[in-house]
Structure formats: C-alpha cells, structure tokens
Amino acid sequence: MTRRRWSIPLAMLLGALAILVLPAAPASAHATLEQTAPVAGTVLDQLPGEVTLNFSEPVRLVVDKIRVTGPDGNRADTGKPAVRDSELVIPLKQGGPKGTYLVSYRVISADSHPVSGGYTFSYGQPSAVPNQDDAGSSVQTDAVVKNAMSVARFLGFAGLVLLIGPALILFALWPRRLPTRDPGRLAQAGAGLLAVSTILELYLQIPYTAGTSLFDVSGAATREVLGTPFGAAHLVRLGVVIAVALLLRPLIAGRASKIDQTLLVILGVVGLGTWPVSGHPSASPVPTLTVVADVAHLAAMSIWLGGLVMLFGFLLRRANTRELTAIVPVWSGWALFAITVLVLAGTAQALVEIGTLDALTGTLYGQLVIAKVALLAVVVSVAAYSRRITNRRFTPIPVAVGVGGSSEMPGMGGTSEAVRDAESDDALEDDEPGDEAGEGESGTQGEGAQEAANGTDRKRLRTAVLIEVAIAVIVLALTSVLVQTSPARSQNGVPAGPFDSTVTTNLLKLQVDISPGQVGLNAVHLYALKPDGSGPQTVVEWRATAALPSKEIEPLAVPLLGIGDDHAAGQITLTAPGTWEFKFTARVDDLNQTTVTVQVPVKS
C-alpha cells in the first residue's frame, strides 16, 4: 500500500467530520431586564428613595455607566449603585424636581457580556425626557472592539488545536526514527498563538465592558476587569500556557519524564476549564453540566483536529507504509472516541439552551440549530458515498501485530515498539525481489487497469470532499450567527401577548396598544386623551421609533397614519425577542409636543 492510499480516505474524513468539531456555539446568554421599580412610564405622587432593576441572571456594575437623570438634566442618583445577585439598586437624592426621570444602565452579565439600556418614569407630572446621550444610556459596544474580540477567540481555538493535537501525537504515536523538530515547532506555535489570544481577549474586554473605543482604556477600567472572573480565568490561562511551553521542550526532545507528562495533562485540564468558567456555560441553569460538557467539547475538538493536522502535515508525507499501518488504526480509535464526546457534549448543551420543543421550533436559536442539523445530515450522506468508494478501492491493510487491536490510548512505549517493528518489516519488504520475468507483462496490464479505475474513483472522492467542504463553510456561517443569538431558554421569561399601556404627560394622556407582541409584523395603535382624561386630545403630527438596546438594534422608524384627530395607527416588523423601547412623539399644535417612552416585551 502506498502513502497516497492512506491520504485519500483521511482527506475524505477531514472534510466530512470537520462539522462536528466546530466549537459548541456559546450562545449570547445576555441578561435581560425583567422588572423595574418604579414601573416604566408610570407617574408617581412621591419620588422614591431608590430605583430597582431586576435582571434574568446575576450582573456586575460598570463604573460610571449607571445613573438617573432628572427633568432638569442633572444627576438624580447618589452615584452609589449596588448589585445584589440579579438586582440592581440605584439610590436617589431626595427633594428632586417634578417631571420625567431617565434611568440608564450598563451592566455585565454573568457570561461576561455587557448589557445596556434605559427607561423613564415621572414624579408629580410628566415632562420632556432628559437628553439620553448626555445621560449615557445610548452607550453601545464599539463595532471594532466587538469584531476584534471574535477574532481573538478564533485565534484561541486555533491555538488549542495546534498545541494539544501535536503534543498528543508526539507523546504517543510519533515514530522514533522521524525528527521532531517541525511538529515541535507547530506545537510551540500553538502555544504562542494561545498566549497572544489570551492577552488580546484580556485587553479587549476592557473597552468591551466600558463601551469605549479600542484604545480608550483607563486604569480604573483595567482594574475592574482584572478583578472579575473573566480576568482571573484569563490570567490563569496565560500562566498555564507559559508553563506548558516550558514543558514542551523535553517532550519534543524525547526526554519528557513521567512527572513532565503528568503535569502537562493537569495543566491541560486546568487551561481548558478557563473557557467555560469565563463564558456562557457558567451562567446556564445547570452550570456544572455545561462547564464539564464545554471542557469535553474543547478537548475532543483539539485532539481530533490537531491530530488530523499532524497526519496531513507530517505523518502522511514522512512515515512509511508499515508505520502508518501501526499508527492510523490507533488514531482511528481516538477519532471515534472524540466523535462520541463531541456529540454527547453538544447534545447536552443544546438541551440546556433550548429546553422545550416549542423553543426549538419557535425561536431563532432553535431554528438555527435545526438548519445546522439538516446540513450535517447532508454531509453524512456525502460521507457515506465517499466511504463506499473508499471501501471498494482503498481498503487498508491489516493492522500490524503489536499495536494492540483496541481503541485504547496506548502509552509512548507500546506504540513506539510497534512502529519500530513496522520499520524493520518495511525494510525487509523493500529488499524483497521483484516479479518473475514471466509475470511482468500481465502484471503491468493489470496494474494499468487498476490504476485507471483508481484514478476515476479519486476524482469522485475529490468532488465529494469539495461538496463536504462547501457545506462545512455554510455550517460555519450558521455557527457564527448562532454565537450572537440569545439561547431559547433566555427568551422563555418574556411575557407573551398584546401590549397595552397608558402614559400621562402635561399635554395628553396616551394609550398605547401593540399587538400581537411577538417577533414579526405588529400593529401599533395610539389614542390621545386630554391630560385629565375628560375627552379626546387632537394631535396634528405623530412620530415613533422602536429600538432593542440589549441587542444593539438602533431606533427604527415606525410609520404612523392619522386615523382621526386623536387616533393613529401603523405597523412595524420586530426582528428579535426582548424588551423593545418605543418612543412616541405627539405634536398637539405648532408650539407644543411631548414624547413618551414605553418598554414593550416581545416574544418569539
């Protein structure tokens, strides 16, 4: 058997199975505002002593990003907000003026993602809403920072693959006769890439948390991030990478002791644990399950992809036939185990993030999961076609005695002995005489026909692999969208049904009706009454906008049509679930107008 015969089926498997090793999508499980006191849009007879906001998960403060602005434009809070688990409390100054107050906030979810927004309430009587830009409620995450964070995380996954896979192959399956310099450099490059990614993520988290630009980083914001679980996890990860880089040297040189090997395993587990601890899994309803599942998913992904990189980059080009015969069956056992872990871990995470059949079919997150599974089924079908060709033309030779015949992970010694035996057998095979003279002509004709058939099948395999890779690109795109989509479980707490609220200002009393209060097309009806409710109030011009600050959806214009002097109607398509912020402006004459803000819960 030639080396090409090994590379073709392995190339096919790489394309077919790459889908499964995509990192489990860490859905954006951002905290959502569930309840406020005072309630948004209400008019109070007495100014409360504090404002309370309740979120769907524990949150942390962002320095100088939480405030209450009074109707006179000055800060009405004391500047000393506090967080109790998922409850944010903002103390208010006493003796504030009557009018409309604007509450603005920016907090950090338990999954390390920032959430910002705001709402209004009135004391005594409504007034004009304070300028939101001055109050800081419109702070959004800088697009450059957000995209750079995604790049940094991708580099981290790449570093894991290039570090763990090559290190494992060098430890257990690398033939002793082959030099370890190049694969060793690859493992060291993976460690370097992982270190760069860790430093980048740690730095980017500072402007990401504060809502500032890429280079607008203060000392206070830096200390704040370093004191969070995210900062602690990344500092631990950086220390682990440095220690692993030092221990790689004796491993590459073939001088790694049992202590070195044990330390590498321990450091690997600790390093992998920093991903779920600083991200979404730790904020799930069952953090123990999701953290363990995420660690297992990352480990399986790194071993599998990293091992395939070693096979394609080095072993298939440098190892002889007998060595590959000893190595590939063992590697296949590992790959099968990695697939099992990936499927089980991914299933566990999906069950936690989706939860119900209705959430699977009725939310964007669930629909993306369905699309990903459907594409995976197509890939499996193409892979089955490829395997039929492989089994017909490229059946591997039997496993050499000494490898063990099982899928258990062997130690360095057992596999190396098998590879040494394979080297000796291969040398003897190379010394064997060729075919007898009488058999030459018929042998040549048979080999020519066989080579032609193999060439046709190779073309078919290349086409199948191309299809698999193309579908893999689509699945990767879906995964990228899935990462930015709130999980179905975070949408279950949003109340369903039409929205109905009445807000009073000094110019009118406005009744707001929005139906059906779900993602998709919604009807908006506005009814204006005099401030005392004694009769209809004429409105000469209506304007409205809708925004979703928690998902950085900027204000969208709501087209309104005057049905009568006191009634306007319109329609708007709401693209995502969450608490939408509607602003309605009503002009009653040439000089006077008023603006009200309402928070509208929208469900998928």
pLDDT of residue 236: 93
pLDDT at 394 over 50: no
- pLDDT, average across residues 362-388: 67
Please say whether the beta carbons of 109 and 59 come within 8 A.
yes
pLDDT at 167 over 70: yes
Q: Is 9 exposed, middle or buried (0-12, 13-18, 19+ CB in 10 A)?
A: buried
Q: What is the mean pLDDT of the chain?
A: 74
pLDDT at 191 over 90: yes
Confidence of residue 505 (pLDDT cuts 50, 70, 90): confident
pLDDT of residue 202: 92
Angle subtended at Cα 289 by Cα 283 and Cα 294, rounded to the nearest 5 degrees: 80
pLDDT at 238 over 60: yes
Q: How far apart are CA 68 and CA 566, in angstroms?
A: 32
Q: Which of 205-219, 244-258, 495-509 has the lowest mean pLDDT?
A: 495-509
Confidence of residue 603 (pLDDT cuts 50, 70, 90): confident
Q: Which one is predicted more confidently, 515 or 26?
A: 515
Q: Which one is predicted more confidently, 305 or 169?
A: 169
- pLDDT, average across residues 380-409: 48
- pLDDT, average across residues 377-393: 58
Per-residue b/e over 136-149, b at no fewer than 16 CB within 10 Å? bbbbebbeebeebb
pLDDT of residue 523: 87
Q: How far apart are CA 505 and CA 539, in angstroms?
A: 14
Q: Which of 554, 564, 575 is nearest to 486 (CA)?
A: 575
pLDDT of residue 521: 85
For the chain, report the end-to-end CA distance as a whole number of angstroms. Answer: 57
pLDDT of residue 88: 92
- pLDDT, average across residues 36-47: 81
pLDDT at 133 over 80: no
Q: What is the pLDDT of residues 442-472, one digit of tens each?
A: 455 555 555 555 456 546 645 664 565 466 5
pLDDT of residue 282: 62
pLDDT of residue 223: 87
Q: How far apart are CA 227 and CA 219, in angstroms?
A: 12
pLDDT at 22 over 70: no
Please say whether the beta carbons of 403 and 418 come within 8 A.
yes
pLDDT of residue 10: 44
- pLDDT, average across residues 505-510: 86
pLDDT of residue 198: 94
pLDDT of residue 249: 86
| Residue 274 backbone phi and psi in degrees, to 5 | -70, -20
Please say whether the beta carbons of 601 and 579 come within 8 A.
yes
Q: How far apart are CA 450 and CA 9, in angstroms?
A: 18
pLDDT of residue 465: 46
In the chain, the percentage of residues whose pLDDT exceeds 90 is 12
pLDDT of residue 488: 54
Confidence of residue 485 (pLDDT cuts 50, 70, 90): low
pLDDT of residue 195: 95
Q: What is the pLDDT of residues 55-104, one digit of tens each?
A: 878 888 887 888 899 998 899 999 889 998 889 999 999 889 998 898 88
Name the helix (H) or strand (E) containing 122: strand 114-123
- pLDDT, average across residues 16-44: 59
Q: Which of 188-202, 257-271, 430-444 has the lowest mean pLDDT?
A: 430-444
Please tell me which of 166-180, 367-381, 438-452 the model is most confident about, judged by mean pLDDT. Answer: 166-180
Q: Which one is predicted more confidently, 336 or 522?
A: 522
pLDDT of residue 51: 92
- pLDDT, average across residues 184-196: 93
- pLDDT, average across residues 383-387: 57
Q: Which one is predicted more confidently, 344 or 25?
A: 344
Q: Which one is predicted more confidently, 44 or 352?
A: 44
- pLDDT, average across residues 242-253: 88
Per-residue b/e over 443-467, b at no fewer than 16 CB within 10 Å? eeeeeeeeeeeeeebeeebeebbeb
Q: Which of 44-48, 49-53, 361-365 has the lowest mean pLDDT?
A: 361-365
Confidence of residue 587 (pLDDT cuts 50, 70, 90): very high
pLDDT of residue 531: 85
Q: How far apart are CA 112 and CA 583, in angstroms?
A: 29
- pLDDT, average across residues 117-125: 83
Confidence of residue 586 (pLDDT cuts 50, 70, 90): very high
Q: What is the pLDDT of residues 318-352, one digit of tens each?
A: 777 677 677 767 776 776 787 777 777 767 766 76
Q: Which residues, 6+ apart, have CB-to-CB distance to 491 below 8 Å?
A: 359, 363, 365, 577, 578, 603, 604
